[in-house]
Amino acid sequence: MRLSSIFQISLFTAFTLALMSCSNTKSNDKNTTEQAPKPNILVVLCDDLGYSDVGFNGSKDITTPALDALANEGTVFSSAYVVHPFCGPSRAGLMTGRYPHKLGAQFNLPPNSETIGKGIPTSETFISKVLQDAGYYTGAIGKWHLGSVAQYHPNVRGYDDFYGFLGGGHNYFPEQYQKAYHKQKAAGKEVIFEYLLPLEHNGEEVKETEYITDALSREAVRFVNDASKKEDPFFLYLAYNAPHTPLEAKDEDLAMFPNIEDKSRKTYAAMVYAVDRGVQKIVNALKETNQLDNTLIVFLSDNGGKTSKGATNFPLREGKGSTCEGGYRVPMFWYWPNRIKGGQKYDFNISALDFYPTFARLAGADIPENKKLDGKDVWDDVLAGKDARKGEYIYALRHREHWSDVGLRRDNWKALKVYNQPWALYNVSEDLGETKNLRNEHPEVLKQMVLEAQRWSQTHQQPQWWHDEATGIAWHQEKMPHWDETFNFN
């Protein structure tokens, strides 16, 4: 895709949105009370990072000094959730502020999704566009996974600058993936696996020379330096693909973990450490350009760690792909020297859905009047250490081939249905590992939560795509989603 094509689409999209929003925007109620100047906002997203694989969340064998320093000087969220236990739907929720199930985006886009020409509906205004319209200089670096054709490109979804790859993952060493790419291209292969494709900068292919994690950190530093020369604040979405497979690490990073004997765990640890090294470089750049004090840094993972590939989610149950706590409860902290008091811990429930309205409020940005949101502005409650979501639900649902797994959280309670087994109830504030089923002790609590999950399911759309063709065929043959079975309390 050529840059000129992207800009043509961008101009058309901007013109259309401008017409739609002239009299169709709503201001955040608290904008007038917010501080000046507006903060820079930096979101650092890891891919498949385990709950307990960072020092600030209890890791004993993986060292993350840069992340720990920021976490210790900010607020750590012990009960933070993303909207889905898989990469693509989780990112869709972060960008749109909505559960992906309501958009028909509850499955990952398939590899090389350009072949199906689909992505997150353009009717959904991304948080990046809201901030861009509020005067922010916006950048996306790393993994996209929200649509690989022109109309879904980051440059037309609110990002001034994009460096990275459009698919769901990538190999890490350029000397390896570039060789494989050119070999397949020379052989005339029309569709080359997306993990091997060249990276791009604003629609133009680039020849990367560095280990991917280091390259993304380098580009983030570049963006920070560029932003320092502008009068406007910045929004940077830095989406590392580490430590997602393939497990590939640099020798110098592997050398940092001589006491880890398991090969997968050792490589995984080195990949996490590479992210940590990169974050330190970005922090240094923010300091050198006098931007750190007015920058909100948000760190999290897109879903739980993949335990079969080196990750740990202790003390949570299971991991990536699961609606147990380990699948979508993630490590998270917020850091902002000028506004967030250091050394705080927030033990109440929070969702990545809350980023959209909270960021918009802090930026003094207008959200389109017809924009639906599933999250809420939690800023004041986080600062005050109050429960922003008391009595409110946080949902997760993952469709399998013949049934659906569901998890929903309200206050201390967690209702769970997995592996087509009967519904279970846990007090996860006391039982993080979901080991003691309280269904018989509190049947009315569980029944109420199951009814609420059923009500929520009625807002869902049929999937617009599946992660592979076989799953789509099975979906129709099985006449999924079988809600009658899913929400059968007995």
Q: Are 294 and 39 in contact (CB under 8 A)?
A: yes
Tell me whether residue 208 is in a domain.
Answer: yes
Which of 365, 384, 403 terminates a domain? The answer is 384
Q: Last residue of a domain, which of 352, 384, 416? A: 384
Does residue 312 share a domain with residue 350? yes
Final residue in a domain of this structure, among 384, 417, 450: 384
For 83-92, what is each residue's pLDDT tens digit? 999 999 999 9
Structural domain includes residue 29 = no
Q: Are residues 267 and 201 in the same domain?
A: yes
Closest to 412 measured CA to CA, from 383, 385, 392: 392
Structure tokens at 230: 């502008």
Q: What is the pLDDT of residues 90-110, one digit of tens each?
A: 999 999 999 999 999 999 999
* pLDDT band per the 50, 70, 90 thresholds, residue 36: low
**Residue 307 and residue 403 in one domain:** no
15 shares its domain with 82? yes
Helix, strand, coil tally for the chain in percent (to 5): 35, 20, 45
Residues 433 and 292 in one domain: no
Cα torsion through 380, 385, 388, 390, rounded to 10: -150
Does residue 452 surpass a pLDDT of 50?
A: yes
Structural domain tally of the chain? 2
Q: Residue 338: which pLDDT band, with cuts at 50, 70 and 90?
A: confident
pLDDT in tens, 113-160: 999 999 999 999 999 999 999 999 999 999 999 999 999 999 999 999
Does residue 85 sit in helix, strand or coil? Answer: coil
Residues 273 and 367 in one domain: yes
Do 426 and 470 belong together in one domain? yes
Q: Is residue 289 part of a domain?
A: yes
Q: What is the CATH number for 460?
A: 3.30.1120.10
Domain range holding 146?
Answer: 3-23+39-384
Q: Residue 8 domain-assigned? A: yes
Q: Averaged over 312-326, what is the pLDDT?
A: 98
Say whether both 118 and 212 belong to one domain: yes
Regarding whether 349 and 427 lie in a shared domain, the answer is: no
Burial tier of 470 (Cβ tally within 10 Å: 0-12, 13-18, 19+):
exposed
Note whether 96 and 191 are same-domain residues: yes
Q: Which pTM does this prediction carry?
A: 0.93
Residues 378 and 464 grouped into a single domain? no
Spatial distance between the Cα atoms of 144 and 142, rounded to a whole number of angstroms: 7
Query: β-strand 75-81 against 350-351: which pairing, if any?
Result: parallel
Tell me whether residue 31 is in a domain: no
Q: What are phi and psi of 160, to 5 degrees?
A: -70, -35
CATH number of the domain residue 369 falls in: 3.40.720.10
Please indicate, yes or no, if residue 175 is contained in any of the structural domains. Answer: yes
In a domain, 34, yes or no: no
Residue 28 lies in a domain: no
Residues 279 and 361 in one domain: yes
Between strands 137-143 and 295-301, the pairing is unpaired
Q: Is the pLDDT of residue 25 over 80?
A: no
Q: What is the pLDDT, as a whole number, of residue 20? A: 42
The predicted pLDDT at position 14 comes to 43
Q: How many CA atoms lie within 13 A of 205 on its CB side?
A: 6
- The tokens of 452 are what? 């609420």
